[in-house]
Amino acid sequence: MAESHAPRRAALRGLLRERGLDGLLVVDLLNIRYLTGFTGSNAALLLTADGDDTFCTDGRYTLQAQRQVPDMRHIIERASAPAVAAKASGRVGFESQHVTVDGLDTLADATDAELVRAPGLVEQLRVVKDETEVEALRMACAAADRALADLIEHGGLRPGRTEREVARELESRMLDHGAEAPSFDSIVAAGAHSAIPHHRPTDAVLHAGDLVKLDFGALVDGYHSDMTRTVVLGEPADWQRELYDLVAQAQAAGRAALAPGAEVTAVDAAARGVVERAGKGEHFPHGLGHGVGLQIHEAPSLAKTGGGTLAAGMAVTVEPGVYLPGMGGVRIEDTLVVRDAGPELLTLTTKQLMVV
């Protein structure tokens, strides 16, 4: 991904000039990774409007930094943030959402620069993904798709297994298909547990007739996928089919509403309206979706409380759910990229009700 980092830094320089800043002290490790490619656990970056940048890490990462950040001046120092702050001059922003009060005192002691709160500048760029990022998301989604297919093909979803056993196997199979790690702790929720939106797997046993909700994702090259599918073990009851069909209709409406310029609240409303017209609005308690990328949850928020509009290149989830306490619930979730010609679907597992 090295070829993609210089354009990102150039875009950030443009934001600095717009804000009248001579530089930005970047201390968040995900933002540093986005701008440089560095994946170590200690680093700081001074990015300047004129391109005289400084990167700092400690001695554990000297060789790694030379390999991952070859196009920038390096400092090797344990206290990375003060070390780069000492190189700053003029009016310099800092990531106030990531710097503690004590940390700010340390930065101020290290520099003569004027330090200015500048939250969210890198995150503003991260909202819209470049094609290198989309390809990483595509691979992460493919690893999750293949893992679920393998799980089902080899009988991993069957009565008698526990939620925890299924979750462990699903995560292992994602690793088999190229994931660095799961995106998050997988959700496997069977029977009445499927009515709990974020149920954590237990030793509860799967039974014939259960709805089983699986919410999981794979991490590839630092990027997260996110997918939910709900299956039924054996022939579904009428209420299960009806519930599944309702959520599928809501999810299709949400996907169809994804377009550049669309208000995030309108996208949520497109899906939520389907559920509300069916008289089940109170059983859809969460937002429709969220951005996904270097973090599993990032901007934008597709929700009634969200703000702003979509832009081409944003990667988002669409995940309506309807949960009937004591009975079961259904959630269907995809990861998609907003495109001018219509959303690009990255999670390709069927959304037809799977009977296993």
Render pLDDT for 103-154 as a digit per residue (tens, 0 to 9): 999 999 999 999 999 999 999 999 999 999 999 999 999 999 999 999 999 9
Does residue 194 sit in the same domain as residue 316?
yes
CATH of the domain at 154: 3.90.230.10
Does residue 169 sit in the same domain as residue 83?
no
Does residue 323 sit in the same domain as residue 180?
yes
Task: Give the tokens for residue 222.
Answer: 């630092």
Does residue 322 sit in the same domain as residue 253?
yes
Give the domain extent around 63: 2-126
Which residues contact residue 281 at a Cβ distance below 8 angstroms, ignoring those fewer than 6 apart?
272, 275
Domain final residue pick, 82, 98, 126: 126
CATH of the domain at 105: 3.40.350.10
In angstroms, the Cα distances linking 1 to 40, 265, 299 are: 16, 33, 22
Does residue 204 sit in the same domain as residue 349?
yes
Domain final residue pick, 74, 93, 126: 126
Does residue 135 sit in the same domain as residue 266?
yes
User: CA 250 to CA 272: how far, in whole Å?
Assistant: 7
Give the pLDDT confidence score for residue 307 in this predicted structure.
Answer: 95
**Residue numbers in the chain where pLDDT is lower than 70:** 1-2
Does residue 191 sit in the same domain as residue 340?
yes
Residue keyed to tokens 């299960």? 240
Give the pLDDT confidence score for residue 3 in this predicted structure.
Answer: 73
DSSP-derived 3-state class of residue 110: helix
User: CA 207 to CA 243: how far, in whole Å?
Assistant: 19
Does residue 158 sit in the same domain as residue 290?
yes
| DSSP labels, 11-73 | HHHHHHHHHT-SEEEE--HHHHHHHH---SSS-EEEEETTS--EEEE-GGGHHHHHHH-TTSE
**Prediction pTM value:** 0.96
Does residue 54 sit in the same domain as residue 202?
no
Does residue 137 sit in the same domain as residue 121?
no
* pLDDT 10s digits, 8-25: 999 999 999 999 999 999
Task: Give the tokens for residue 162.
Answer: 């526990």
Give the pLDDT confidence score for residue 1 in this predicted structure.
Answer: 52
Domain count, the chain: 2
Give the pLDDT confidence score for residue 4 in this predicted structure.
Answer: 83
Does residue 183 sit in the same domain as residue 103?
no
Domain final residue pick, 105, 126, 147: 126
Does residue 207 sit in the same domain as residue 307?
yes
